[in-house]
Structure 1
Amino acid sequence: MIKRRLNELDLLRFLAAIAVVFFHYAFRGYAKGDMSAMPYPLLAEPAKYGYLGVELFFMISGFVILMTASNNNLKKFFISRAIRLYPAFWACCTLTFVITLFIGQPRFTADFYQYIVNMTLLSEFVGVAPIDGVYWSLFVEIKFYLMISILLGFKKIEKIETCLVFWLLISATAEVLGFEKLRSILITDYACYFIAGATFYIIWTKGFTKTRVLLLAGSLALACYTAVVWAELIETKYATEYNPLIVCSLIVLFYMTFYLIAMNKTGVIGQMNWTTIGAITYPLYLLHQMIGFMIFNVAYPGINSHLLLWGTIALMIEASYLIHKKVEVPVSGFVKRLLSASFNRVRS
């Protein structure tokens, strides 16, 4: 059965990205004192919860990646992920690198070798520091893609529900008992969000079953547990306090939102076209952090902090739009044609 396009996911992507932007600009950069010279106390308290935007990204990814993989074709899945990840990343990484060379010092530095390795999107796997700290979440995503690729390689994507159950059980065990190797391989810190997103996709296409309800309940319990543990760990790092009730309430809100999407109950929001803001989300996420901090460090306190914050956000949104239109769209088309031709040559 052909399903409608889920416009709501584009809006969710943008909201997740903006939450992370405010977390970095209004709280994180100054809170630890090692990235941004500009405080923004007016929004610091709510903004400190904005890091959960990444967890929302992972839920969206669980939903969308399973949708992409549902045709059970590894080649198409690989091409779709390559054109989604690389073109915008190349542009944003290059821009961040160049700006770091010009205005980053003394707080931020980068070298050409680091840049070249970063451009492969494999820097974490070979022990090279990222040009921008936000890249860490891409490595989590890539691990998830590899898991799905294994299922596609063995033509077992229809077994995904069983795999999600085992992934959840193993993740919960590894988290509680502290099996570090297993935690790293199976990304158990964030597995619950991918599992939830994937389960909501299955519900959207096939409806509820007892297993799917248990998957959602179990993943929600694990999500709240890991989120509270993480919040306790970063309280010292950022010299602040996190309210576990707020943390868990935000996660429950994510689940409620996906429930409405899966049940097609988003009303007018789901009928509106959010394509443009959804399209700029990825470059905005990649671009904003280090460049924004460098702008703050150069311009503050010479420029009013309100003008600097909101002006920089506007600049990042405009730059993200230009990267999407002028780089991501044309380069993605070229890369898709190149990869498709390469696969066809290998097959023939």
Structure 2
Amino acid sequence: MKFNSLREQVSNRSQVYSVQMLRGIACLAVYFVHFFSDQKLLPVSKFLVKASEYGYLGVQVFFVISGFIIPLSMYRNKYDIQNFGSLFKRRIIRIELPYVASIVLFVLLKFIGYIAYGTQKTFDIDWSTVLLNIGYLNVFWGKEFINHVYWTLFVELQFYIYIGLFFGAIINKRFWVRHVAYLVIFGLNYWWVGSLLFHSHILIFMVGIFAFQYAVKIIELPEMLIGSVIVLFGNYYWTSNILHLDNSTPIALASIFALGFIFLVKQRWSILDFLGKISFSLYLIHVPVTLVLLPILEPYLHRPYYILIYKLGILICTIGISYIYYENIEKPAMSLSRKV
């Protein structure tokens, strides 16, 4: 059975390539919603414009991936609550160093854009907001994220804290222990209100957690499927009736797609594997890089077909720059984090 092949990969400590490829898909989706949901592209590509409007679902896919791969990594490394400090240090090095470097790059590219295209007499940047973005302190000071993709890193940081504290209960084979832990997590987050906070996304992370539990034989297939259905229905109710959002169904479908991709896709596609490898770097820097590249020619292009070709060319350039960022920033941070 195809579902069992995932268990074989996990038991053999093999890399789960479907997860890496899924990262590439999710990152491309986020990129497309930022730069291809543009009415200027109509009518040359109505499908592309319409599809890109759902690119935000790439974030939900990332949450499912985190729910699966982070506890899996902890399980393989025999994590214990006493190792919480080391887990957090590795997170700081692995994630926060590239994140802070991307903030520096954001300021640099904004300055380059000001020199090249700016019409203002002063370099317009709020330095207090920039500094508060380091450590996500801007959230508590009521300041915005200078790059709007950063909010997801704040949510992921909270997930690291929760999974570090509750990991022992999550891998416990006793049914009631696991489910009491779930109720505690849900209860704590119910009181902690805010769209940037973990409680608004916990049910999507849970889909990945159920997949992890099945992969390491803590639960069996019926419990994984029933649990996933319950949390997706719960998320549907939460988003539609509590948050009053109209994207409940797309979020559920994106979560199901992510779960199915992790379990069922076994063929390795080189391009998706490559995009998955650099996905974090691409995710961090695609907005400032693209915003610097777009004004070079876009103001002079008036035909939708030419604009589409130009944007695809910028996408390729951004991927190339992201690879350089990966090799020189993210990859060294990964190596350093393994030494902690």
Q: TM-score range by the shorter chain?
A: 0.7 to 0.9
Is 1:269 aligned with 2:284? Answer: no
Kindly provide the CA deviation profile for residues 190-244 of structure 1, in whole angstroms up to 9, marking residues without a partner as x. Answer: 111111101101101105165434321111213444566699747xxxxxxx7x7
Which of the residues 315, 318, 322 maps onto 2:317?
315
Q: Shift of the alpha carbon at 1:45?
A: 0.7
Quote the residue 2:36 is aligned against: 26
Which of the residues 181, 195, 200 maps onto 1:189?
200
Which of the residues 207, 215, 220 maps onto 2:227?
215
The residue type paired with residue 101 of structure 1 is F
Q: Shift of the alpha carbon at 1:48?
A: 0.4
The residue type paired with residue 254 of structure 1 is A
In 2, Cα distance between the equivalents of 1:109 and 1:16? 32
Cα contact 1:19–1:53 (8 A) shared by 2 = yes
Is 1:77 aligned with 2:87? Answer: yes
Q: Shift of the alpha carbon at 1:67?
A: 1.2
Kindly provide the CA deviation profile for residues 237-272 of structure 1, in whole angstroms up to 9, marking residues without a partner as x. Answer: xxxxx7x766644443223223xx2xxx433239x7
Please give the secondary structure, in 1, of the residue aligned with 2:327: helix
Matches of residues 68-217 of structure 1 in structure 2 within 5 Å? 68-70=73-75, 71-72=78-79, 73-103=83-113, 109-151=124-166, 156=169, 158-159=171-172, 165-166=179-180, 181-182=192-193, 187-206=198-217, 207-208=219-220, 211-217=223-229
Q: Shift of the alpha carbon at 1:145?
A: 1.0
In 2, Cα distance between the equivalents of 1:67 and 1:60? 11
In 2, Cα distance between the equivalents of 1:194 and 1:312? 32
Deviates more, 1:83-92 or 1:112-121: 112-121
Quote the residue 1:40 is aligned against: 41
The one of the two structures with greater contact order (alpha-carbon pairs below 8 A, sep at least 6) is 2
Quote the residue 1:255 is aligned against: 259
Aligned CA-pair RMSD? 3.5
In 2, Cα distance between the equivalents of 1:231 and 1:184? 9
Deviates more, 1:8-17 or 1:69-78: 69-78
**TM score, norm. by length of structure 2:** 0.76
In 2, Cα distance between the equivalents of 1:316 and 1:138? 21
In 1, Cα distance between the equivalents of 2:64 and 2:332? 28
Quote the residue 1:305 is aligned against: 307
Specify every segment of 5 or more residues in structure 1 that has no aligned partner in the other structure, as ranges.
32-38, 235-241, 341-348
Cα contact 1:283–1:320 (8 A) shared by 2 = yes
Please give the secondary structure, in 2, of the residue aligned with 1:120: helix
In 2, Cα distance between the equivalents of 1:182 and 1:245? 22
Deviates more, 1:225-234 or 1:317-326: 225-234
Quote the residue 2:3 is aligned against: none
Cα contact 2:207–2:255 (8 A) shared by 1 = no
Please give the secondary structure, in 2, of the residue aligned with 1:255: helix
Cα contact 1:172–1:222 (8 A) shared by 2 = no
* CA 227–320 in structure 1, closer or farther in 2 if over 3 Å, else same: farther
Cα contact 1:16–1:57 (8 A) shared by 2 = yes
* CA 162–63 in structure 1, closer or farther in 2 if over 3 Å, else same: farther
Count of matched residue positions in the alignment of Structure 1 and Structure 2: 310
The residue type paired with residue 215 of structure 2 is W
* CA 232–185 in structure 1, closer or farther in 2 if over 3 Å, else same: closer
In 1, Cα distance between the equivalents of 2:103 and 2:260? 35
Identity %: 22
Please give the secondary structure, in 2, of the residue aligned with 1:127: coil
Quote the residue 1:56 is aligned against: 61
Q: Shift of the alpha carbon at 1:164?
A: 6.2
In 2, Cα distance between the equivalents of 1:247 and 1:74? 31
Please give the secondary structure, in 2, of the residue aligned with 1:268: coil
In 1, Cα distance between the equivalents of 2:22 and 2:138? 28
Cα contact 1:124–1:139 (8 A) shared by 2 = no
Quote the residue 1:280 is aligned against: 278
* CA 209–11 in structure 1, closer or farther in 2 if over 3 Å, else same: closer
Deviates more, 1:89-98 or 1:191-200: 89-98
In 1, Cα distance between the equivalents of 2:193 and 2:176? 19
**TM score, norm. by length of structure 1:** 0.75
Deviates more, 1:302-311 or 1:193-202: 302-311
In 1, Cα distance between the equivalents of 2:146 and 2:154? 14
Please give the secondary structure, in 2, of the residue aligned with 1:64: helix
Cα contact 2:166–2:181 (8 A) shared by 1 = no
Kindly provide the CA deviation profile for residues 273-332 of structure 1, in whole angstroms up to 9, marking residues without a partner as x. Answer: 965322210011111124323433554221441233112211211111001111222244
